[in-house]
Structure 1
Amino acid sequence: MFEKLCSLRPMWYQVGKINEQVREIMRGHPEGVHFVCYSQGGLLCRGIVSSMNHNVHNFISLSSPQAGQYGIPRKWDRYMPANCIKTNIYKFFYTHFVQNHLSVANYWNDPHHQTLYRNYSVFLSHLDGSTPSPNMSEYKRNFLKLHRLVLIGGPDDDVVTPWQSSFYDENENVVEMKKQKFFQDDSFGLQTLYNKKRVHIHTFPGVVHKKWYANRTVFNSAILPYLT
């Protein structure tokens, strides 16, 4: 539905359009459905489960930047100074115009410019509770309807940065999930799910970003068990 350049449409726009189709599927399956969502699609699925009255049992997030992206794909190094882009692109991404027109900007989470992130982000910071939102109680209530949250990733992913679906501190050290402010504040229900043992984390080395959805080992051990 949102392939290639269409995937650059703003996140809330994509969530709204996908919601229309998902709602029909859920009506046809009142016993419940599962979400298997890959890459940016994992954030779209999170927007869906947070913003609608759903019957999603298991939400499987496959190599998705659930706490945001701060990095340029490694393969781009051969074409442009990726580190320079990473450290300066906030000037472009953290503007109202770009936030309203570009998906990647909606979840770009620069650890060196957190005030700008909270002030300008219109998608991820609202889902996390980093930016106050009148919808936060609804987002949390809907998120807690999940039976399980399954997070899948690995150290050889060459796109999602950091690969742990986590976040960097100001020194660009990875901050583990349980030390994240949104976890400790339980702003959207992640700590509650975790304490109820409804968060499952699977790590697979040796898998690059484009190979996750086709890897048989990943499917058999970290996806299929949650679909039965």
Structure 2
Amino acid sequence: MSSLAALLLLLLLLSWSVCGSGAHRPVVIVHGLFDGPRDFRKLTRFIQEVHPGTEVTALDMFNGVKSLWPLWTQVKSFRSELEARLNQSKDGAHLICFSQGGVICRALLSVIPNHNVHSFISLSAPLAGQYGDTDYLKKVFPKFLKKNVYKMCYNKVGQDVSICQYWNDPHQRNKYLKYCNFLPRIDGETPHKDTNVWRQNFLRIKKLVLIGGPDDGVITPWQSSHFGFYDFNETVVEMKNQEFYRSDVFGLKTLDARGDVVVCEQSGVAHVQWHSNFTVFANCIQKWLT
């Protein structure tokens, strides 16, 4: 046996030994807009091949067009399922949340007290909002360009559509803060009585992993996956220059100061490929699933 083969065999045996001892925390996956659990079969396989025996659960609700339901309605149901799984794991669990699922998980980590989520891995999610003419937008509002979407979204009826609850028109800032009842609340831009409690809950995570890249084609601007967003001139303002970071209103700056914010940028990855691309898994996800 060559020295390389012997080394690979040793690593494999060590992996079996560690994984067989139950060292790896379970993983819970929350899907995105128009997705469902079956879209995450490859990601599940990647996890279980690298960490055999890991329990991986893709939550099965609000699949397909039902993902357009109001986000607070979705959060309520996802919360019940997630809490049930967290309660079964004394050492905690990891949370991987894709696209719209990322903002849902942001809310879950804010509203669940005493949760034991270890790594929150946000996979190409519009964490600071969405503002772009994409195929996904055309499915929901086929007759509207991005500059007119606010007319549909920023009212009571529009807020019953999930995408409207994180649609962030940089030219309609006041309307966004007034009418959008989801993302500004969890990002601390519209303070409320639970702001401090939500901040404390969010800070319970041990690691925040932000994954995205310039060839995504859906999340707009793509830097929203890293908490960056447009200013009024549609110039991207990076995370550390965002007011919600500087004021530390939901704990992002504190997490960063702790060394617990990880930013992973990958080029050449289209939006629908993030959860099925092994390079993304190896470079951005695998390390944080211990």
TM category, shorter: over 0.9
Question: Equivalent residues in 2 for 1:184-203 (5 A)?
Answer: 184-203=246-265
Shift of the 141–75 alpha-carbon distance from structure 1 to 2, 3 Å rule, reads closer
User: Is residue 2:107 matched to residue 1:55?
Assistant: no
User: Deviation at 1:98?
Assistant: 1.4
Match of residue 166 from structure 2: 107
Q: In 2, distance between residues paired with 1:72 and 1:8?
A: 17
User: Deviation at 1:146?
Assistant: 0.8
Match of residue 96 from structure 2: 36
Aligned residue among 218, 221, 225 for 1:159:
218
User: Is residue 2:180 matched to residue 1:180?
Assistant: no
Amino acid corresponding to residue 269 of structure 2 in structure 1: V
Q: CA RMSD in A?
A: 1.6
User: Deviation at 1:72?
Assistant: 2.0
Match of residue 215 from structure 1: 277
SS in 2 for 1:105: helix
SS in 2 for 1:207: coil
Question: Equivalent residues in 2 for 1:133-172 (5 A)?
Answer: 133-165=192-224, 166-172=228-234
User: Is residue 2:105 matched to residue 1:45?
Assistant: yes
User: Could you say which structure has the larger radius of gyration?
Assistant: 2
Q: In 1, distance between residues paired with 2:211 and 2:77?
A: 26
Question: Equivalent residues in 2 for 1:57-76 (5 A)?
Answer: 57-73=118-134
User: Deviation at 1:97?
Assistant: 1.7
User: Deviation at 1:189?
Assistant: 0.2
Deviation track 1:38-71 (CA, whole Å, cap 9, x = no partner) reads: 0101111111001112110100000000000011
Unaligned runs of 5+ in 2: 1-60
Per chain length, whose mean CA-contact separation is higher, i.e. which structure has more relative contact order (CA < 8 Å, sep 6+)? 1
Q: In 2, distance between residues paired with 1:25 and 1:74?
A: 34
Match of residue 151 from structure 2: 91
TM-score by structure 2 length?
Answer: 0.75
SS in 1 for 2:105: helix
Amino acid corresponding to residue 22 of structure 1 in structure 2: L
User: Deviation at 1:221?
Assistant: 1.5
Deviation track 1:127-165 (CA, whole Å, cap 9, x = no partner) reads: 111112111111100111010100000000010001012
Q: In 2, distance between residues paired with 1:119 and 1:185?
A: 20
User: Deviation at 1:126?
Assistant: 0.5
User: Deviation at 1:186?
Assistant: 0.3
Q: In 1, distance between residues paired with 2:193 and 2:124?
A: 29
Unaligned runs of 5+ in 1: none
User: Is residue 2:190 matched to residue 1:127?
Assistant: no
Q: In 2, distance between residues paired with 1:133 and 1:75?
A: 31
Aligned residue among 35, 60, 63 for 1:3:
63
Match of residue 53 from structure 2: none
Deviation track 1:161-220 (CA, whole Å, cap 9, x = no partner) reads: 010122100000100000000000001000000111100000000000000000000101
Aligned residue among 14, 20, 29 for 2:80:
20
Match of residue 54 from structure 2: none
SS in 1 for 2:223: coil
User: Deviation at 1:81?
Assistant: 8.7
Amino acid corresponding to residue 113 of structure 1 in structure 2: Q
Q: In 1, distance between residues paired with 2:244 and 2:157?
A: 27
Q: In 1, distance between residues paired with 2:198 and 2:223?
A: 23
